[in-house]
Every structure is written in C-alpha cells, then in structure tokens.
Chains A and B, each alone.
Chain A
Amino acid sequence: MNNMPSNAEKYLRMEKMPHIWCPGCGNGIVLSALVRAFHKLNYDQDQTVIVSGIGCSSRASGYLDFNTLHSTHGRALAFATGIKLARPEVNVFVLMGDGDASSIGGNHLIHAARRNIDLTVVIFNNSIYGMTGGQYSPLTPQDNRATTAPYGTFERPFDLVELVKAAGATYIARGTTYHSAMLTKLIITGASHKGFSVIEAVTACPVSYGRRNKMGGGYDMLMWQKEHGVPIEKSRYLKPEEMKGKFLIGELHKSEAPEYTEVYQQLIDRVRGPIKGE
C-alpha cells in the first residue's frame, strides 16, 4: 500500500483479520486512510476512542486497536457524545455508513453538529445499505436501482455536506477512496480541528450497489470516483455545465464556534466558583 506506515499493524487488531468486507469493497481503503492518519497524528492509542454504528463500514472499529465501541444502528454519535462529555481530554472518532449516519442516525447527526462537540466523524458513503444486501439509502442518487427500488429510486438524496453545514458543523470535507492520499489529509485536518468535524468518504460497494447499476467492479467504481470527484480548487475554473453530475472533494467548509465540552467546563467553573485557597 502506497505510503502505508511500516508499522501499520500497531494500529490494527491483526488477530481479527481477515476482515468481513467483500472483494472490491472500498471500506479497506478508508480504513487504511484512517491508519495513515493515526500514524501521522501520533495520538496515544490508550487515549483515543473509536465509536461506530451498525453496517459494513461500522465493523471497522473492531479492527482498530483503540478503545472501540461498536454501538447500535444510527446511535454512534449519541454514544460518542456521552464519552466525549465524560472525558473531554480524549480523542473521539466516529465511523458510520451513509444509511447509519443520515437515515436512522440523522437526528443525532444534526444535533451533534449543532452542539459543535469535538468529534471527528468519518462517514463511509457507498450510496447503499450493503450489510442487508442493497437497499436504497438517503444518499442513493436519484433513479439508481436498489433491491427496494427495483424501478429506480425516485427519492431526492441528501447532500451530506450541505446538511451538516446547515446544522452547524465547523469542519466539513469530502474525499474518495480513489483520492486516498487526500482522504488521509482530510482526516488529519478534521481530527486536528477543535469542534465537530465531518469527513464524507465516498467509497464503492460493487456487490450490492455497483452491480445493480451497471457500474462495473471495484476498479471501475474507483475510476468513476476519479472522473466524478472534482477538487474544490479545480472546480473554480469549471463552468456549471462541466460540474453537472460531478461532486466536490476537498476541504469544503471550515468555521470557528465554541466547542461543547469546553463551554461545559466553563459552566462547571462558573457554578463552582473559585476554589478556596487559590
């Protein structure tokens, strides 16, 4: 693997391999981007928590050698909020799939963003419910087929970036498994940002999504990401018609706002008042 740290195994539970993901699945590429990011961030593994929800991508927590919590469907952010508020000093990452984060967990997503609690969220977006065999998610593009959309889905998808921006997230980025070096960088920047950081990782599910939509195998779907993901810097030189059907990648939003656990600590300090003797 290109640029993989030679000590990647330090961050992985090798005894849990092989992983459960299908041939051609992009989740392993997102996992390797995470491992590269952890290597660069050099966080103490004992002082880092990884929370995930339910679904294919949420199995990633089990392969990572940290304090890991594979929680319930859609609820990862609520569990992570409890952990972060209880121990603000530790690093908390949240891994979710697109259905997990934006459908069953949609309420938790917007409220965690609203609070600007210091969590680093990586959403594996493969446009489908993979674990259950290919049902459409709120991020399945319109007219695409799924087992529950045999005639093509007519529902309008969310734009995850716009959704969490409106809800108050202070760092938002989108990467793809094709642009994996960029994805690593985005995770590092997101983790270093104080506040609620969301990194959408566009990934491929050839078995439950690509196959049904004539997108080819894992390689073809990576090439699709290459052709359709447009770095935001490059997009400035493109006409609107040239952006049609494409999506932006890179750092898409950054702002500053008070971070939840810091504000809560200030509240504690205010309520308790100066400690005698100080």
Chain B
Amino acid sequence: MNNVVPLTRLMQGNEAIAEGALAAGARFFAGYPITPSTEIAEILAEKLPAVGGKFIQMEDEIASMAAIIGASLAGLKSITATSGPGFSLKQENLGFAAITEVPCVVVNVQRYGPSTGIPTASAQGDIMQARWGTHGDHPAIALSPASVQEAFSLTVQAFNLAERFRTPVILLADEVIGHMRERFVMPDASDINVIDRKKPPAGLTRYYPYKPDEDGVPPMANFCEGYRYHVTGLVHDESGGPTTKADQAERLIKRLNDKIMDHLDEITMTESLMTEDAEIIIVACGAVSRSARRAVKQARKEGIKAGLFRLISVWPFPDKEIKALSRQARSIIVPEMNLGQLIGEVERVVRSETKVSGINRVTGEMITPDEILNAIKSEI
C-alpha cells in the first residue's frame, strides 16, 4: 500500500480530521454512517489497519460512543465522528466519559437541524449542545476549526487535551469545513506535539484511579496493565467505588469542572485580527469566521476600524478575552449560522457595557462577507 502523503496537496476537511487523528496517535475508531461526517469513517476504515489500528462500524451512534470509551480504557487513543442526530445520541455516553474521566475525541461535523433537518446543509446549531448536551454538571472542551489545515491541527490538539485532562473533547466542525477542499501542508511528524495520558508509577501497593494529582487530574492506568480498578458512571470515591455521600459527590463534580477551569491557559485558543484599535469587533467561529475575515479586511480598506476575534476553542468560553474586548470596542457583532447561541455567551460576559448584536442565518447557506460588512457599516 502506498501511504505516502504528499507534503502539500489539496485536501478535504474531513480527510484532514482523519489524518490529524492518525498523527495524534489514534488507533481506534468506532462510528456509524452519517452525513456530513462519513468521509472520516471511510478514510479511517482504510488507514487504521495499515498502522495496526482498529476500525469498527457499530450498530448505532450510541454503541460507537461506548466502543471508543471501552477502547480508550484498554489503552488506545480513540475517536468517533458524527453529525447532529448522531451527536444527540452520543450525549449519554459523553457524560459517562466525563464522569469516568476516559479520554476520547468526538467529532461533530455540524449540519442543519433540529432532527434530520437538511443533512447536507451547514449550520452552527450545536454550540450549546456541545456544552450542555449531556445531563448534569460536567466539563466541556470544544474546538472549532476554520480551515482544512486547522481541521488537522485541532484534531491533534483535541487528542492532546483529552489525554492531558482525562476528558472527552469535542471537535466542533461544520459542514463547510468538513466538505471544503483547500491547500493543506502536512507538517513534519517531528513538528507535531503529541501528548499521552499520565500513567501511575509502577509498583504502587494500591492504585486509586480517581485520586487527583495537584493539577486535579488523576493518573490513568489502562485496563489490563497491572492495576485492577472499578469504573462506574455512578458518583464514586477515589477508589472508583460508588458512593452517595454528599461531600464525596460534591468533591468529584467540582474537581471534574475545576481540572478544566483551572487550566484555561492550556486550553483557550483564539485568534485576533486587527483588533488592537478596533471599535467594531466581530466575534465568530468556524466557517463563519472566514466570511468575517473578508468583511473585516474590506472594512479596513474603507477606513473603518473593524477587527475579528475568532474563537478557536469555543468551550470553555473565553470569558476573560471577550471581557477585555468589550472594554475597548464600541460594538460587538456576532454572526452565526443559528438563531443566536454564541451571542448569549458574549452578552453574559459583556453585560450591557458594550452594544452586542447578531447576524443570524438559518437558511442552510453561509453568511456572506457582504452581510457582515453591511452590519459593520451600520454600526459606524
């Protein structure tokens, strides 16, 4: 088999996600066919066996999520890919991965919803589901690529964060990014930073799978590598055994959230384009930020002080950074392919100190640069 990938080539976003997974060391994929993420499964079905990895098409989305958690517990970096309806079905076991602290990556190539919606049309309607889709208080990390190149690098980063913090990480892509083809440069393997889960030292008299280190993250022993322990979705103590004690329950749930929120500096990723002196700032993520970039550049050409603040990590929401922008900007515009999800978070942080307005589109089509430019002009 010829597995040589040209260094620079035209590549599809979904293909870049599959390549990113392999580069991050993923050796297990379980999934179920769904538009518009299917190419990720198709590519990994071909490529995983070639690197000794495993691919399985499960009987449904729920089973796929379960299988990647099982495989990760058994020691393989694991990934699944889906879209709206499938993402809904994965929520139960996403919560299981969160409370049992099993690293894994869930790709959601967002499509128009709710329900079957328009399977081939792009949307950003799952921003809140990525944060609050599963029941109960739980941490969430979601990364949103805006280019094919970034689809690759953020997939690697999703694995790194999953392994670093023992938590599921969501790659929140969208149909435009998943299906678009553009120039892609394969980084040299030595330039790709790959993080592996922290393991307990050998020879402990007793291993506590949920006893955290100072950073809030417990070292993780893989199944069948010498430490036997219990994993349960019930609230559990440090031994892994179930408990209903109030103090132990509170300690667990707070730690699950704190281990993420105490390390925002390692997680938060944003991009600022001409925001230094900007009076009007666009806050966007994913495919929409491409239109926003064009609009901001055009506005600058016309002498308008506009800037783009792009969320690369959507969750945890970058409160601190948005707060800082609101002190400087006169107006914040939030274009998104939904009826207003990101904007709620922006408003929460900004609180009425700065004008916040949205551009919302639910036609299944992209928001165009002109629409954003017009919105910028209306703020002058």
Q: Residues of A contacting B241 with CB < 8 Å?
A: 13, 16, 62
- Interface readout for B58-83 with A: 1 if CB under 8 Å, 0 if not? 11101110111111111110100000
Q: Is A278 an interface residue (CB 8 A)?
A: no
Question: A residues within 8 Å of B by Cβ?
Answer: 13, 16, 45-49, 51, 61-62, 65-72, 75, 77-83, 85-87, 90, 107-108, 110-111, 264, 267-268, 271-273
If the complex has contacts A49-B223, A267-B49, are A86 and B70 also in contact, measured as CB distance less than 8 A?
yes
B-side interface size class: 35 or more
B contact patch SS: mixed
B66 near A67: Cβ-Cβ < 8 Å = no
Q: Residues of B contacting A110 with CB < 8 Å?
A: 59
Count A-B pairs with CB separation below 8 Å: 136
B52 near A268: Cβ-Cβ < 8 Å = yes
Of all chain B residues, the one with the shortest Cβ separation from A68 is: B230
Q: Residues of B contacting A69 with CB < 8 Å?
A: 70, 73, 223, 230-232
Interface-centre pick from A66, A70, A107 (highest chain B CB count, 10 A): A70
B30 interface neighbour in A16, A67, A82, Cβ under 8 Å:
A82
Per the bound structure, the CA–CA distance linking A271 and B70 in Å amounts to 25
A71 interface neighbour in B52, B96, B229, Cβ under 8 Å:
B96
A-B contacts, 18 of them at CB < 8 A, read A46-B225, A49-B223, A62-B242, A67-B224, A69-B73, A69-B223, A72-B66, A78-B58, A78-B62, A81-B56, A82-B71, A82-B73, A85-B28, A86-B28, A90-B224, A107-B59, A268-B49, A273-B1
B30 near A49: Cβ-Cβ < 8 Å = no
A contact patch SS: helix
Q: Residues of A contacting B60 with CB < 8 Å?
A: 107
Per the bound structure, the CA–CA distance linking A78 and B306 in Å amounts to 50
B67 near A78: Cβ-Cβ < 8 Å = yes
Per the bound structure, the CA–CA distance linking A261 and B229 in Å amounts to 25
- Interface readout for B72-116 with A: 1 if CB under 8 Å, 0 if not? 111110100000000000001100100000000000000000000
A65 near B69: Cβ-Cβ < 8 Å = no
B224 near A107: Cβ-Cβ < 8 Å = no
Q: Residues of B contacting A82 with CB < 8 Å?
A: 28, 30, 56, 66-74, 78
Per the bound structure, the CA–CA distance linking A87 and B75 in Å amounts to 8
If the complex has contacts A46-B228, A67-B224, A68-B230, are A79 and B69 also in contact, measured as CB distance less than 8 A?
yes
Q: Is B226 an interface residue (CB 8 A)?
A: yes
Q: Residues of A contacting B72 with CB < 8 Å?
A: 82
If the complex has contacts A82-B28, A107-B63, are A264 and B232 also in contact, measured as CB distance less than 8 A?
no
Per the bound structure, the CA–CA distance linking A111 and B56 in Å amounts to 12
If the complex has contacts A75-B93, A271-B50, are A70 and B74 also in contact, measured as CB distance less than 8 A?
no
Q: Is B131 an interface residue (CB 8 A)?
A: no
Q: Residues of A contacting B93 with CB < 8 Å?
A: 72, 75
Per the bound structure, the CA–CA distance linking A78 and B166 in Å amounts to 21
If the complex has contacts A78-B67, A82-B70, A86-B76, are A66 and B228 also in contact, measured as CB distance less than 8 A?
yes
B52 near A108: Cβ-Cβ < 8 Å = no
Q: Is B233 an interface residue (CB 8 A)?
A: yes
Q: Is B118 an interface residue (CB 8 A)?
A: no
Per the bound structure, the CA–CA distance linking A211 and B66 in Å amounts to 36
